Amino acid sequence: MSKSSKNFYEFGPFRIDAADRLLLRDGEPVLLAPKVFDTLMALVQQPGRILEKDELMREVWPDSFVEEANLAHNVFTLRKALGEEKNSSKYIETIPRRGYRFVANVVEMQSDAPDVIVQQHSRSHIVIEEYGDEPRYTADQTTARESLGYLRWLPKREGWNARTVSLVASVVVILLGLVFYFWISKKAERTGTDSPLKPIAILPFKSISAGLSDDYLGLGMADALITKLSNIEQIIVRPTSAVTKYVTLGQDPVSAGRALKVEAVLDGTIQKLNDRIRVTVQLVSVADGTPLWAEKFDEKFTDIFTLQDSISGRVAAALTFQITGKERDLLAKRYTEDIEAYQLYLKGRYFWNKWTPENLKKSIQYYNRAIEKDPGYALAYAGMADAYNVLGINYASPKENFPKGRAAAAKALEIDDTLAEAHATMGAVNYFYDWNWPAAERELKRALELNQNYSIGHELYGYYFRSTGRLDEALTEAKRALELDPLSLLLNADLAATYSFRREYDLALDQSRKAIEIDQNSITALGSLARSSSLKGMYQEAFTTYTKMISLIGRDSYLLATLAYTYAKSGNREEAQKLLNELTEQSKVSYMFPYCKVVIYAGLGEKDLAFEWLERSYEEKDPNMVDVKIDPMLDPLRSDGRYSNLLRRMGLPQ
């Protein structure tokens, strides 16, 4: 048995074996990541001396540039490992604005004893290794992973062959798996959920330099990472729509994370200069504001895809215990290799998220240009389909927009059948325009099979259940969608609408008020409140809310239609008729969904005219017709034979 000289450091109940990079507490090993161990060694080897932050970072990361947040996280992790209480400095003292000092008494020793002496303290230990940019493992078939890196178990015993090492490593993996399983179970018991899904938010990267190009690039970078990380089932990623408002500079990531109800926030800055791009990112714990991971990337702009791969991979590693091979492949998946096409796509997403008719049309122009650069760019086709669908549902002729949306979604799926968003978009066309209920359900189910945490997929599936009269299932999907994106005004309003369709008006009012607490000027939330108030017979409250909406967005046609309905139900037929006349004049200069007049005539009790306009709505493929079976405003029409005939022609159950 050979002898070798080894250095040991002792302080309190701790002993460091420098040669084997092992920390023991009362003879038991303490798990530390490599850079955390390096930080400990730097401090312990110079006890009582103030080590400046820059000096420490150069010693721990000699060949890399890292942010100060990395050092702060290492010290935070060390303090936890050493058992320091909050605000105490039993071992490590923080010197404000300077650095750190190890304050415990340290005894340094040397030993020429054989390795077996060390084995008396620790017959085995766990080492986390990193090579280059990626953490790796070397034990055969060891796949267990902590958020800090891969683990391997190295027995300190001579004569053990590779098979024995592999067998022991497998046992450790199983033990770690059991520990993690029981941790999951306990967490599930505490949260009442079946799985410990981790919600995170990716904020729009902040532009250091001014200008539209960096604005769209910052939001686009976040959108790309959201798309990638949404493929991991163990985490819930807030959608782009939930974080768009954080484009402005100066947003505190912890405050944003609390508002978004997530566990961690990825925050970053982005700067583009000529053909270079610099991105600085940090993953921050919302609970205590500590950085979980941080890094700076300085690349050529043409390497932006590699950069996104790196960031998404590092975030996944920091948040999840283990990802599947399929998820790993999806993280590395690239939808285009053409940098110009990618830039045009980002601009399309930038304008799409503004959701006005003008910006939706502008987004379509950018998507088209992206497709010209790369005809195989599936995401660009999917984005274009979404833009056409939103126009057809909210602003313009369905017959002019939905067929274009269908064609774009079909092309996206032809190129890549694994896009959950494209399946959901095709399902929306089947639902809102074709009224092909089986096809809509098939596409929406497929979307959720591909991404079970896709909030819009659950929203649309709830719509399907609503329209077909399956209101219990509709409520389940509406609630699930809102759990995934709790600050979405649209999803809050959708849940309120589902309560209204169930004739649970008090619940609808409560949910509408919750949405208004998020944004008191949200048209979506105010519209939900006004409609619910009207249906419950609270006419004065409804009038007050409608007046505020008009002051915010003007005299929108559907707004005026539901206001006219409220006047009619309250007995003021004269005001209802005035608004009906106004809508008739509006329709001469801009598109009006025929369902608007259906609502007014139903409120006035003019059944024949209501059915006349229902027929026009049917012929024009008005997307509002998906509510015809369950809309409370149409209750006066349900006893008429023409109503059941219409449901039959639409393929809806009677």
- Give the closest residue to 441 by CA, choosing from 413, 406, 474, 418: 474
Q: What angle do CA 522, 525, 527 make, to 5 degrees?
A: 105
Query: Helices 378-394 and 357-373 meet at what angle, rounded to 10?
Result: 160
Amino acid identity of 26?
D
- Mean residue pLDDT across the chain: 78
Determine whether domain 6-188 maps to CATH 3.30.1490.20. no
| In this structure, CATH architecture of domain 198-334 | 3-Layer(aba) Sandwich (3.40)
Q: What CA–CA distance (Å, rounded) separates 90 from 600?
A: 74
Structure tokens that stand for 579 in this block = 């608004």
SS3 of 197-219: the string is CEEEEECCCEECCCCHHHHHHHH
Encode pLDDT of 138-154 as tens digits.
333 222 222 222 222 22
Parse the chain into domains and list their residue ranges.
6-188, 198-334, 555-654
Q: What CA–CA distance (Å, rounded) separates 41 from 60?
A: 9
Encode pLDDT of 512-537 as tens digits.
999 999 888 888 899 999 999 999 99
pTM over 0.75: no
Res 26 pLDDT > 50: yes
Q: What is the pLDDT of residue 507?
A: 96
Q: What CA–CA distance (Å, rounded) separates 99 from 486?
A: 40
- Give the closest residue to 360 by CA, choosing from 302, 404, 424: 404
Give residue 311's pLDDT band: very low, low, confident or very high (50, 70, 90).
Answer: low
Q: What is the pLDDT of residue 551?
A: 92
DSSP string of 536-574, one letter each residue: TT-HHHHHHHHHHHHHHH---HHHHHHHHHHHHHHT-HH
Give residue 322's pLDDT band: very low, low, confident or very high (50, 70, 90).
Answer: low
Virtual CA dihedral for 472, 475, 479, 480, nearest 10 degrees?
60
Q: What are phi and psi of 6, to 5 degrees?
A: -130, 145
Encode pLDDT of 591-621 as tens digits.
899 999 999 999 999 999 999 999 999 999 9
Q: Which of 231-245, 446-460, 546-560 has the lowest mean pLDDT?
A: 231-245
Give residue 219's pLDDT band: very low, low, confident or very high (50, 70, 90).
Answer: confident
Q: What is the pLDDT of residue 189?
A: 41
Domain pair 6-188 / 198-334, same fold = no
Q: What is the pLDDT of residue 140?
A: 30
Q: What is the pLDDT of residue 93?
A: 86
Q: What is the pLDDT of residue 202?
A: 86
Query: Helices 523-535 and 489-501 meet at what angle, rounded to 10?
Result: 10
Res 123 pLDDT > 70: no
Percent of the chain with pLDDT over 70: 75
Q: What is the pLDDT of residue 177?
A: 39
Q: What CA–CA distance (Å, rounded) separates 22 from 121?
A: 11
Q: What is the pLDDT of residue 74?
A: 81
**Average pLDDT for 543-559:** 91
**Average pLDDT for 493-522:** 93
Structure tokens that stand for 488 in this block = 């979405």
Q: What is the pLDDT of residue 651?
A: 94
Q: What is the pLDDT of residue 155?
A: 31
- Give the closest residue to 303 by CA, choosing from 278, 326, 268: 278
**Average pLDDT for 441-466:** 93
